[in-house]
């Protein structure tokens, strides 16, 4: 489809009926965004293949990355009064193109500072399942950069983190600033502002480099510098994205890093910050058992709920998952984080150490309580239900009254956790 190879899914059957497998777009879960669909066993006619190729061709960006770079060079030579940006087409305009965009809304007098902050010039793509460009707030961005520097990293593979990449690029000209970044992102609009060595058009759901072998080599070259030392991958995927597909791509990027000539790297993992909501912890650990979840709350500029400093359920649920030693991730004391000597990691002020679990168990910043019957800590608003034999909200619908799993018909689990559901 227009955004690379499709993924193989299974349509769940009811009861013992086996699911049928099909291919669909790797990034778009909604058919309105991409209508690619093909049964695995379906024979596709030559006519349909040709129509698909034509559709994909039409849906490519108007300019290539190298053409965008040529345009940028010409754009920066223009006097301020002739620098325009079309808000409708999300494109830098050269004077010869003004007439073509005459009935569009555009911004004038685009300054050098604006060109160095493209994430503020471009409209965020806010389709929750595909792009979900919720951009780091300055607080979180600065914290991440300071942490990366303190940990001794000098190169950042920024996978879907344009705001962090932008902050690094803006400081690159400073003499004492040694950190460099390569942005891998599905948003091709960034190719208007960054060279081929600074940005690769990339789909993190299927590990697809739109620029082909040249872009792949750019990524390899970036990872291979200094024998692959002092490089970290920082990724902030759309929260509606499939964890399994994302994990597969991240493992391929890590494998690319492992190919560096440094010996003894067989059992090592490339250092990583995966930024994702805490309620995906079990899914992430399924694919990366080496990751630990930090208590730091990541917040976003353009998300109504994911803001720092709110309380209860209004706090940001977004956390940092990392394979670095937890004690080395120092969280800011001025924001209420403290070090737990038993757990050997920094935790939020409300996260009290449970003597029975022998761990700081809270996931959401509130103080959790221990349930003796469940043998674990649970949210403060949950109570033990004797029908379900587990803790839940007081007014929940009991599991015992449910008809059972949609796939196998048995009670006690939902379709998503069904052992009969084959993984693809």
Total residues found in the chain within this entry: 424
CB-side neighbour CA atoms (13 Å) of 309? 6
pLDDT of residue 252: 96
Q: How confident is the model at residue 311 (pLDDT cuts 50, 70, 90)?
A: very low
| pLDDT at position 401 over 70 | no
Average pLDDT along the chain: 86
For the beta carbon of residue 14, count every other beta carbon within 10 angstroms.
12
| Rounded average pLDDT over 130-136 | 65
Evaluate whether 292 touches 321 at the Cβ level (below 8 Å): yes
Q: Return the bridge partners of 201, or none.
A: 185
Per residue in 155-190, pLDDT (tens digit) is: 999 999 999 999 999 988 888 888 999 999 999 999
The whole-angstrom separation of Cα 336 and Cα 308 is 12
| pLDDT at position 335 over 70 | yes
Ramachandran assignment for 163, one of left (phi > 0), alpha (psi -120 to 50 degrees), beta (any other):
alpha
Q: How confident is the model at residue 116 (pLDDT cuts 50, 70, 90)?
A: very high
| pLDDT at position 346 over 90 | yes
| pLDDT at position 403 over 70 | no
The whole-angstrom separation of Cα 117 and Cα 144 is 18
| Rounded average pLDDT over 368-385 | 89
Per residue in 15-69, pLDDT (tens digit) is: 656 778 999 999 887 778 888 999 999 899 999 999 999 999 998 898 999 999 9
Comparison of pLDDT for 164 and 389, the residue scoring more: 164
pLDDT of residue 14: 67
pLDDT of residue 18: 72
| Rounded average pLDDT over 298-307 | 65
Place of tokens 């995966």: 274
DSSP tag of 300: B
| pLDDT at position 282 over 60 | yes
| pLDDT at position 229 over 70 | yes
pLDDT of residue 281: 93
* Long-range contacts from 145-148, C-beta under 8 angstroms, 24+ separation: 145/179, 147/329, 147/330, 148/179, 148/232, 148/234
The whole-angstrom separation of Cα 240 and Cα 416 is 15
Q: What percentage of the chain carries pLDDT values higher than 70?
A: 86
pLDDT of residue 174: 84
Comparison of pLDDT for 178 and 310, the residue scoring more: 178
pLDDT of residue 264: 55
| Rounded average pLDDT over 271-285 | 94
Contacts of 235 (CB under 8 A, 6+ apart): 159, 160, 161, 204, 246, 250, 272, 273, 274, 275
β-strand pairing of 199-203 with 180-185: parallel
DSSP tag of 280: G
Sheet with 106-108, side-by-side order of all strands? 91-93, 84-86, 106-108
The whole-angstrom separation of Cα 222 and Cα 30 is 34
Q: How confident is the model at residue 8 (pLDDT cuts 50, 70, 90)?
A: very high
The whole-angstrom separation of Cα 398 and Cα 118 is 50
Place of tokens 């992102």: 185
Q: Return the bridge partners of 37, or none.
A: 24
Choose the weakest-confidence range: 22-26, 101-105, 144-148, 301-305. Answer: 301-305
Comparison of pLDDT for 310 and 369, the residue scoring more: 369
> Which string of DSSP letters, residue by residue, matches 57-69?
HHTS-SS-HHHHH
Alpha carbon separation from 282 to 51, 178, 295, 312 (Å, rounded): 42, 36, 16, 22
| pLDDT at position 423 over 50 | no
On the 0-12 / 13-18 / 19+ scale of CB atoms within 10 A, 243 is middle
Evaluate whether 259 touches 220 at the Cβ level (below 8 Å): yes
Contacts of 294 (CB under 8 A, 6+ apart): 319, 320, 321, 322, 326, 329, 331, 345, 346
Comparison of pLDDT for 154 and 240, the residue scoring more: 154
pLDDT of residue 128: 45
The whole-angstrom separation of Cα 240 and Cα 411 is 27
> Which string of DSSP letters, residue by residue, matches 19-80?
PEEEEE-SS--STTT---EEETTPPPPHHHHHHHHHHHHHTS-SS-HHHHHHHHHHHHHS-G
Comparison of pLDDT for 311 and 41, the residue scoring more: 41
pLDDT of residue 260: 73
Alpha carbon separation from 174 to 6, 111, 197, 238, 277 (Å, rounded): 42, 20, 19, 32, 34
Q: What is the CATH topology of the domain spanning 138-349?
A: Rossmann fold (3.40.50)
| pLDDT at position 371 over 60 | yes
Per residue in 77-94, pLDDT (tens digit) is: 999 999 999 999 999 999
| Rounded average pLDDT over 210-227 | 93
Evaluate whether 151 touches 143 at the Cβ level (below 8 Å): no
DSSP tag of 97: G
Tell me the two tokens of residue 178.
Answer: 């040694």
Evaluate whether 365 touches 315 at the Cβ level (below 8 Å): yes
pLDDT of residue 398: 81
Q: The whole model's pTM is what?
A: 0.86
Contacts of 29 (CB under 8 A, 6+ apart): 129, 130, 240
């Amino acid at each position: 489809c227009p955004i690379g190879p499709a993924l193989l899914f299974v349509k769940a059957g009811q009861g013992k009926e086996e699911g049928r497998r099909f291919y669909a777009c790797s990034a778009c879960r909604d058919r309105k965004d991409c209508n690619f669909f093909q049964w695995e066993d379906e024979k596709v006619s030559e006519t349909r293949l040709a129509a698909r190729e034509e559709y994909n061709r039409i849906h490519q960006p108007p300019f290539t990355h190298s053409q965008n770079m040529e345009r940028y060079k010409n754009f920066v030579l223009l006097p301020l009064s002739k620098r325009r940006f079309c808000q409708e087409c999300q494109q830098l305009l050269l004077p010869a193109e003004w007439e073509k965009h005459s009935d569009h809304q555009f911004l004038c007098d685009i300054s050098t500072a604006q060109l160095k902050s493209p994430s503020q010039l471009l409209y965020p793509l806010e389709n929750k399942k595909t792009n979900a460009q919720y951009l780091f707030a300055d607080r979180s961005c600065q914290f991440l950069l300071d942490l990366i520097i303190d940990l001794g990293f000098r190169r950042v593979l920024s996978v879907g983190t344009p705001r962090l990449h932008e902050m690094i690029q803006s400081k690159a000209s400073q003499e004492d600033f040694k950190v460099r970044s390569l942005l891998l992102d599905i948003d091709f609009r960034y190719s208007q502002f960054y060279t081929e060595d600074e940005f690769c058009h990339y789909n993190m759901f299927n590990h697809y480099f739109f620029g082909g072998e040249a872009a792949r080599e750019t990524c390899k070259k970036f990872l291979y510098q200094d024998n692959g030392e002092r490089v970290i991958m920082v990724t902030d995927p759309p929260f509606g994205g499939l964890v399994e597909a994302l994990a597969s791509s991240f493992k391929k990027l890590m494998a690319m890093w492992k190919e560096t000539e440094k010996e003894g790297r067989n059992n090592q993992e490339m250092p990583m910050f995966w930024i994702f909501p805490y309620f995906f912890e079990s899914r992430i650990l399924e694919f990366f058992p080496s990751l630990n979840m930090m208590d730091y709350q990541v917040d976003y500029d353009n998300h109504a709920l994911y803001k720092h400093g709110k309380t209860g359920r209004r706090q940001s649920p977004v956390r940092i998952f990392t394979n670095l030693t937890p004690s080395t991730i120092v969280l800011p004391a001025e924001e209420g984080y403290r070090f737990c000597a038993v757990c050997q990691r920094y935790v939020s002020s409300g996260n009290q150490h449970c003597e029975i679990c022998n761990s700081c168990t809270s996931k959401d910043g509130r103080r959790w309580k221990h349930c003796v019957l469940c043998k674990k800590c649970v949210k403060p608003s949950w109570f033990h239900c004797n029908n379900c034999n587990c803790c839940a909200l007081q007014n929940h619908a009991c599991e015992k009254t449910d008809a059972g799993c949609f796939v196998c018909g048995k009670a006690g689990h939902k379709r998503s956790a069904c052992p009969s559901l084959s993984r693809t």
